[in-house]
Amino acid sequence: MAERSEDLDTPRAIRTRWNARDVLNLNSDSFGRFAEWVAKSMGTAQFLGWMTLVVIAWVTLNVVGLWGLKWDPYPFILLNLFFSTQASYSAPLILLAQNRQEQRDRLALDEDRRVAAQSRDSMDYLAREIASIRTSVGELATRDYIRSEIRAELRNLLEQLEESTEKP
């Protein structure tokens, strides 16, 4: 009884109008997973095999009347009603599963585009850096250039030395 009095201490939310979602209390994600499971299972050979066995058993029992069972005579109206009901529920569930897959594909495509744009930006940055390094290296003296300059200076020094030794 103590639990009940604690429950009475907290006020209930007042509903101003009737809402089907409140009555059914359906979580869209769990219902979507259910729809995907239905769509996945209905598209299998196992489902078609079981459905075929059920139909054969239904028709056999209602035509032959084994054990005195004939609940759906020849035009099989009840069987047609079951098929119609199954089709009326399976089509929207399959469409719901396709819509969820389409949303996942769209999100994956957006993520791929974002990653591609980021990669393109990174490649552009690296290309600019490499061009900058090439420009800087082009302005730096290479080993061959420095050797040739040193040789030229050595020749000039040798010539100056020869000239100075030739002059008495």
Residue range 113-122, pLDDT digits in tens:
999 999 999 9
With respect to residue 12, please indicate whether it lies within any of the assigned structural domains. no
- What is the predicted pLDDT for the residue at 23? 45
Given CA atoms 122, 128, 131, 136 in this order, what sign does their dihedral have? negative
Residue 106: give the domain boundaries. Answer: 27-42+75-142
With respect to residue 111, please indicate whether it lies within any of the assigned structural domains. yes
Place of tokens 């199954």: 86
Residue range 104-161, pLDDT digits in tens:
999 999 999 999 999 999 999 999 999 988 887 777 777 888 899 999 999 999 999 8
Q: How many domains is the chain built from?
A: 1
With respect to residue 13, please indicate whether it lies within any of the assigned structural domains. no
Percent of the chain's residues with pLDDT above 70: 83
Mean pLDDT over the full length of the chain: 81
Residue range 11-42, pLDDT digits in tens:
555 544 545 554 456 677 788 888 888 888 88
- Token digits for 83? 């098929």
What letter does residue 71 receive in the DSSP assignment?
A: S
Question: Per-residue pLDDT averaged across 39-55, rounded?
Answer: 87
Q: Nearest 5°: phi and psi at 8?
A: -75, -20
With respect to residue 18, please indicate whether it lies within any of the assigned structural domains. no
With respect to residue 148, please indicate whether it lies within any of the assigned structural domains. no
Residue range 57-82, pLDDT digits in tens:
888 888 887 667 778 777 888 888 88
Q: Is pLDDT at 51 greater than 80 in this prediction?
A: yes
With respect to residue 54, please indicate whether it lies within any of the assigned structural domains. no
With respect to residue 126, please indicate whether it lies within any of the assigned structural domains. yes
The burial of 79, by beta-carbon neighbours within 10 Å (0-12 exposed, 13-18 middle, 19 or more buried), is given as middle
With respect to residue 62, please indicate whether it lies within any of the assigned structural domains. no
- What is the predicted pLDDT for the residue at 53? 92
